[in-house]
Amino acid sequence: MFLKIHKVNNMSKDNVFFNKKILITGNTGFKGSWLTIWLNILGAKLYGIALESPTTPSLFEEAKLSNIIEVNNTDIRDYYQLSKIVNRIQPDYIFHLAAQPLVRESYLDPIKTWGTNVMGTVNVLESLKQIKKSCVGIIITSDKCYQNQEWEWGYRECDKLGGDDPYSASKGSAELAINSYQKSFFSEHKNSYIRIASARAGNVIGGGDWADNRIVPDCIKAWNQNIKVKIKSPNSTRPFQHVLEPLSGYLCLAKELTKNKELAGHSFNFGPTSNSNNKVIDLVRELGKKWTDSSWEINSENNDFVEAKLLKLNCDKALSLLNWEPTLNFKKTMEMTGDWYFNFYNNKNFKVYEMCCEQIKLFTENQKKFL
């Protein structure tokens, strides 16, 4: 029995998710938790496959999301257990978000990174072959799947895949696996029930993220201890976007793929507008407006873990084929993120789930696509 709370206009004619069985891998993570809340608002029957919450605190625990989703604590590297769950549920939709998501961690544990991001994705794709009805699979990779030359222009979906660090390379490899499964098993001439597409996004921010080695959580943790946050590359440029931006893209892609089989096998970028890339220091300054002491300093420690300093996405394809485009500007993104964390730490009456619902409502009032 699922506890349904805070639903809004579930019977909208554009809401293809109402009363559908939806499986989310990585549902205990940051993006997975926000997606769980959004799909619960839309009236879906939710199932999750994930490890325990990766951080303490975590959005999954703070929002009490085990009340609205069936939890299956399973490692996606375990094909046997994963396939049993998929076969039992027979979902209408799968959103594959489970991953090892950190560049730094990929240097420290490349075997886990490759096993999770590549073979975990292969296991999900292989499990889809057991579904004997129509099912849409949205497979999430990363904006770092491209062979990044640190160009001034955004990468298109047809650009070369690659990546020098283990994380980026694993995401590029996952894209190759997705393409192979589409052409080998899920293409139209195979009479497949399955329609899949991949989604590429990254550098998401927003309330409820406490992961290590991410700029927003690093700032929040430091400032709430009244210490300076250490920044490695203040002038590095990133396509920062609120977590609801790519999630809206995933939902839009799933909706359109349900209606249009021609989109099967396609990949889509979901990022901010090309003129919205901002420096790390810009983010720190905007986020710090909510805190009395929001000081920072350069991290002078030797860093053997190389990350690109410039990365942009071209999202023209999503606009053309899905009618999707980003909703929030940088200032509004930072305002929503700052409000969330400031209330979490300073408002005794703060209710996490309700705050997330309010921010989703605010976002969709601007976007007018799902509610």
Top-tier CATH class for 21-206+240-274+306-329:
alpha beta
Closest CA to 96 of 143, 159, 29: 29
Type and span of the H or E element at 151: none
SS3 194: strand
Q: pLDDT at position 191, please? A: 65
pLDDT in tens, 285-341: 999 998 888 999 988 776 666 777 778 899 999 999 999 999 999 999 999 999 999
Half-sphere exposure of 318 (CA within 13 A, CB side): 31
CA distances from 295 to 51, 147, 216, 238, 288 (A): 35, 35, 13, 21, 8
Token output for 365: 């009032």
Q: Show Cβ contacts of residue 204 under 8 Å, excluding neighbours closer than 6 positions.
A: 30, 31, 241, 242, 243, 245, 246
SS3 (DSSP) at 199:
strand
Q: Is the peptide bond before 272 cis (omega within 30 degrees of 0)?
A: no
DSSP string, 69-111: SEEEE--TT-HHHHHHHHHHH--SEEEE------HHHHHH-HH
Tens of pLDDT, residues 25-84:
999 999 999 999 999 999 999 999 999 999 999 999 999 999 999 999 999 999 999 999
**95-99, 203-207, 308-312: the lowest-pLDDT one:** 308-312
Residues in the chain: 371
Instruction: Kindly calculate the radius of gyration of the chain based on its CA atoms and give it in whole angstroms.
Output: 19
Give the CB-side neighbour count of residue 124, counting CA atoms within 13 A: 36
| The model's pTM | 0.94
pLDDT one-digit tens code per residue, 124-178: 999 999 999 999 999 999 999 999 988 888 999 999 999 899 999 999 999 999 9
